[in-house]
Chain A
């Protein structure tokens, strides 16, 4: 079974520029997550989709971050404009179902973003 695919692996941009990340979850997984992981910290949830609907985006900085999952499969996360403090690893994860015992999140390798 193929894992969660993310691209690009690395991205360096200047502040105030825009950037987009792509994620393809494990086939058949209904739930998709975007996490931000700053160096030395645990992942922090940015947004969670159930199929193509948003379940939780309470910690997404909506003035500059946006995400979509139009067909309930792959997803894109965009930052516009980027700030220095956005430098982090952006992790995408997916989980298979909605029942309590089917909700383990499986992670991609992440995209390391450096804003200079």
Chain B
């Protein structure tokens, strides 16, 4: 099945640094979602994007829906140790929940205190 290309696969940063990760696809998506998953837990929704060019923030997190509709970016500012986890992008091609939500393979973030 279709997979989104998420990069980087992993990041190791110092506390206080900013982080950027992105997700690309060869197909157009109408919805982009960003999730965080802690060990032994299910993914938790961070940000949802519904319009091309949309820029949305949630605290220190900012995500953008690419103009081409084929990519999305997530930025984390001033990272802290609890930001550690796996970040997944997910995209939906059509409008409405009757279209499948496809996930990337994730970016593993490690923050060194």
B30 & A4 in contact (Cβ 8 Å cutoff) = no
4 closest A-B pairs by beta carbon, nearest first, are A107-B42, A42-B103, A100-B95, A103-B97
Asked if A25 lies at the interface with its beta carbon under 8 angstroms from chain B, I say no
**Does B44 sit at the interface, judged by CB under 8 A?**
yes
11 sampled A-B residue pairs with Cβ under 8 A: A30-B97, A42-B90, A42-B106, A44-B103, A45-B101, A45-B102, A48-B100, A50-B97, A98-B97, A110-B41, A110-B42
Interface residues of A (CB under 8 A from B): 4, 30-31, 33, 35, 40-45, 48, 50, 55-56, 58-59, 91, 93, 95, 97-110, 112
Determine whether the beta carbon of B43 is less than 8 Å from that of A43: yes
Closest to A43 in B: B103
The yes or no answer to B113 lying at the interface (CB within 8 A) is no
Please list the residues of chain B having a beta carbon within 8 angstroms of any beta carbon in chain A: 1, 3-4, 6, 30-31, 33, 35, 40-45, 48, 50, 88, 90, 92, 95-98, 100-106
Is B103 touching A107 in the complex (CB atoms < 8 A)? no
Contact between B31 and A103, CB atoms less than 8 A apart: yes
Query: Closest approach, in angstroms, between the C-beta of B106 and any C-beta of chain A?
Result: 5
C-alpha gap A112/B48 in the complex (Å): 27
Report A44 CB to chain B, min CB distance, Å. Answer: 7
**Which residues of A sit under 8 angstroms from B40, Cβ to Cβ?**
109, 112
Asked whether, in the complex, the Cβ of A100 is within 8 Å of the Cβ of B105, the reply is no
Question: Which single member of A4, A58, A98, A104 contacts B96 (CB below 8 Å)?
Answer: A98
Given known contacts A59-B1, A99-B96, A106 and B30 CB-to-CB distance under 8 angstroms: no
Chain A residues with CB under 8 Å of B88's CB are 42-43
